[in-house]
Amino acid sequence: MPKRIVVPFGPQHPVLPEPIHLDLVLEDEKVVDVIPSIGYIHRGLEQLVQKREYPEYVYVAERICGICSFMHALCYCQGIEHIMEIEVPDRARYLRTIWSELSRLHSHLLWLGLFADSMGFENLFMRAWQLRESVLDISEDTSGGRIIQSTCKVGGVRRDIEQGKLEEIHRVMDTFEEKCRGLGNVFLNDETVKYRLQGLGVISKDEAYTLGSAGPTLRGSGVAIDHRETGYAAYGDLGFKPVVETAGDCYARCAVRVRELYSSIDLIRRAIEEMPEGGIDVKVKGAPNGEYFSRVEQPRGEVVHYLLGDGTKHLVRARIRTPTLANVPALVKMLPGAQLADVPVVVLSIDPCISCTER
Amino acid sequence: MTTVKEEQTTTSVALGDLIREVEGIHADGYRLVQIGCTNIGEAYEINYSFDKGYRFRNLRLTVEPEIEVPSITGIYWGAFVYENELHDLFGIPVTGINIDFKGTFFKTAEKFPLSITRKGGDRCQNV
Amino acid sequence: MNGFIGVVLFLILAPVAGGLIAGLDRKLTARMQGRVGPPLLQPFYDVGKLFEKERVVVATAQNFYILAYLAFIVLSGALFFAGGDLLLTVFAFTLAHVFLVLGAYAAHSPYSHIGAERELIQVMTYEPIVILAVVGFYMVTGSFYVADIATTTVPAILYLPGVFLGFAAILTIKLRKSPFDISTSHHAHQEIVKGVTTEFSGSTLGQIEIAHWYENVFLLGLVYLFFAWNPVIGIIAVVVTYVAEVFIDNVTARVRWQAALKSGWLAALLAVANLLILSYMMIGGA
Amino acid sequence: MAFLKRSPWILHYDASSCNGCDIEVLACLTPLYDVERFGIINTGNPKHADVLLITGGVNEQNRPVVKNLYEQMPEPKVVIAVGACAATGGIFRECYNIVGGIDKVIPVDVYVPGCAARPEQIIDGVVKALSILEERRERMTGEAQVQEEARHDAAEAGESR
């Protein structure tokens, strides 16, 4: 039997932007077992609901994670709105959709870059992040923030995007899409990338489903579950079809994200074209009394905010289940059998967002 | 007008029936969404959430502190992340987890920060 | 006498040239990635800085090994530029890398050990080609001496195209570039942190950098030998080869070590085929 | 000669931040900001690093990791706390698992404000840190000289006796 060694991977590691620790049991360079340990970013922010009033908690929700920031705020606000039976103006729903899809674009481009870096493809990392800056420009132009936007609030949105700016975004999307397609082509067609990704970290359709995976990890295995199909915000009006790949390997997960770029661009365009007139928020009175499992499709998958209010300004409980936590079991199943060189690729293929996971 | 195509149902479940109920749900083809816990003063409400085709089913188990809860990892393999969390944050003893971190999944400054009875305690329950 | 001047020039000029090449490399890489990139003299600043840092020694033996690595790299380069025996040069060059591997093994870190193992795999990958190249030069020019090969009037490249392609393939290993930067990488991040160089810091790391400069000049010298019959074409060929290597670095992902080994040996097969055809032609001609 | 100022290699660590500052640190490396212009490289290896860029309010599990990374870096070195959380714990300062600010664990030289800190601010913070780094280096060589002289004097005293 070959000699077994244990290689610690993380918490500080050049290919990991965030700390997660894996103890890899290796035979030569083959991974035979993996023990994850998390908790390096556990802050305990769910408890803050008892110290912040429910409208203020939106700021905390935004900072669960700096990448899917807007989506967390959206999920939280939609949950409170459902409990309090608040009807959000149409224009606010459309604006929320635009900001959501912008977040998805920037998140996917960020991920594509990090993913390329994990394969040792530095040029592609630079190109993906260069492209991402144009999304951040729009986000800064419309909200003032590059990353944390603070535009969502209970009862609507905080800022409007004026017509001229909407038209400009629509125009920008054309050149942006062209560049995205160029970048996507490299990811999907480059021989060395294919060599690194195809057949790696395979999760079958049934396995992905019963393990409770979410987002591109699930859709990459051929399961068409995307929470946008339920039609929250303006997705119901715009119509939406999930992006699905069937191979279940790292390449399929990458392909799902690449194709989601195009579907997001399309959604933004249509949201701008069909943007209704009107107010952007309603006045919110009282306090939530009741409970709701609010769900939103983040770039990484479905996020669940369980909110429980007792009629006071402070919620009793906010329980946040983020997609990465749901994808950890799949990751533990994917790694054994991979080469050490593939570990960063497989780990990144679920798009781990540790800040989300550990709250 | 927002139209969200999603139903949510919540049913209570007794501790003795938990495993049987979850097996039934598994047989119906639901996937596990999450397991979450709420500290409601003198007891814990544990929500086992499942989903199939955007039908959201929630089993609610109410347990007193210090009561052992059986693991559902025999049915849903991936449940270990949530069950370790139940133990590490709430101090609920969960028995028979497939990958039991024994209190090291979330290492917090204060042990069992959300627990009713063992807040600040340091003895691991899952030994 | 000529040889002596060659040695002195190499000892003084090679680090300058090597550093400038590294600077140009980084600038060119940055441009290919849509960036401005560091100043041309950046590699010199880096090495200067490394010598200013505190000396942290993980294991005392490692400093000795790295010094030996530097010494043997310099020796092989010096032998080469003195016009000496190419076979001896190549073996001194290999010995240098053995010291680097020993240095990495002396440090107690799994990353460093895996890096060392991969470095050995790399040596196995490129060694056959380098030796085949030497044999090829002998077949074409009838001499193992660099002085003779460099002054030959025979265009070696026309006789050794397969060997040259094989050599160009393994050059990405030696320049520590994608797709074969498996034991340590100059630019990109890696799963084994910095591989063989993980545990070295300060002046020791600086010595590795300087050794790398000498090494690059020596390798480009080898490239030149293929085109030595015409110095102008030779220099152009060296530049083109280097730019091509930077380009390849920027259009490929890193492969696994198995593929690196396989590609290296496929390249070696190509070189063997080249030499077989060559010897058949020569025997046929004679 | 002051090479150090021209070649600061960075180590980035996320000590319980929300990711916002971390992706901005990474954004500094990419084409729009391209800090390699100033010779800055993100090494990812503490033994090669001169500047520790650290984000987040540090939790209990991260505390030993942060200390360890700091100790592994060879002198001279500087620490930059990026973002509101790294300065004080920020929005999370009341959370049960947050220590509250990097300076509770290791000495910090430069604080970069913002939530999330913008790349321009981070670059500004690094530039500020460079002069501190240079001071440290001078003091370090100065001390080495003093020690050397002391040894020399002692040796001479020994000979004359």
pLDDT reported for residue A109: 92
CB atoms within 10 A of CB A167: 11
pLDDT reported for residue B102: 73
Domain D4-135: which CATH number of 3.20.20.70, 3.20.20.150, 3.40.50.12280, 3.30.9.10: 3.40.50.12280
The DSSP secondary-structure symbol of C4 reads: H
The helices-and-strands tally (H runs, E runs) of chain D is: 4, 5
Closest chain B residue to the Cα of A214, Cα to Cα: B33
- Chain D residues within an 8 Å CB radius of C44: 3
Higher-confidence position of A348 and D149: A348
CB atoms within 10 A of CB B54: 16
The dihedral region occupied by B32, where left means phi > 0, alpha psi between -120 and 50, and beta the remainder, is beta
Residue A224, classed as helix, strand or coil, is coil
Structure tokens at A155: 């009862």
Residues of chain C with pLDDT under 70: 1-2, 57-59, 186-193, 283-286
Question: Cβ D75–C53 below 8 Å, yes or no?
Answer: yes
Rg of chain D over all Cα atoms, to the nearest angstrom: 19
pLDDT reported for residue A68: 84
Query: Would you call C131 exposed, middle or buried from its count of C-beta atoms within 10 A (0-12, 13-18, 19+)?
Result: middle
Alpha helices, DSSP H, located in chain B: 18-27, 80-85
Domains of chain A: 4-280+287-352 (1.10.645.10)
Asked if C touches B (at least 3 Cβ pairs < 8 angstroms), the answer reads: no
pLDDT in tens, chain A (359 residues): 567 777 777 777 766 777 778 788 888 778 888 777 777 778 877 778 778 888 888 888 888 888 888 889 999 998 888 888 888 888 888 999 999 999 999 999 999 988 888 888 888 888 899 899 999 988 888 888 888 888 888 888 888 888 888 888 999 898 999 999 999 998 888 888 888 888 888 888 888 888 888 888 888 888 888 888 888 888 888 888 888 888 888 899 999 999 999 999 999 998 998 888 888 888 888 888 888 888 888 888 888 898 888 888 888 888 888 888 888 888 888 888 888 888 888 888 888 877 777 77
Task: Among A212, A227, A316, select the one facing B31 at the smallest CB separation.
Answer: A212
- Chain D residues within an 8 Å CB radius of B110: 96-97
- Chain D residues within an 8 Å CB radius of B119: none
Q: How far is A227 from chain B (nearest CA, A)?
A: 8
Q: What is the pLDDT of residues A326-349, one digit of tens each?
A: 888 888 888 888 888 888 888 888
Is ipTM > 0.90 here?
no
Query: At C120, which amino acid appears?
Result: L
CATH code for the part of the protein at B7-95: 3.30.460.80
> In the complex, which subunits touch B with 3 or more CB pairs below 8 angstroms?
A, D
What is the C-alpha to C-alpha distance for residues A7 and D5, in angstroms, rounded to an integer?
35
Is residue A344 a contact partner of residue A24, using CB atoms and an 8 Å limit?
Answer: no
Q: How far is C65 from chain D (nearest CA, A)?
A: 19
The helices-and-strands tally (H runs, E runs) of chain A is: 13, 8
Number of domains in chain C: 1
Higher-confidence position of D61 and C46: C46
Q: How far apart are the first and last CA of chain A?
A: 42
pLDDT reported for residue C284: 59
- Chain D residues within an 8 Å CB radius of B104: none
Residue-range domain boundaries for chain D: 4-135
Query: Residue C233: what are its φ and ψ, rounded to 5°?
Result: -60, -40
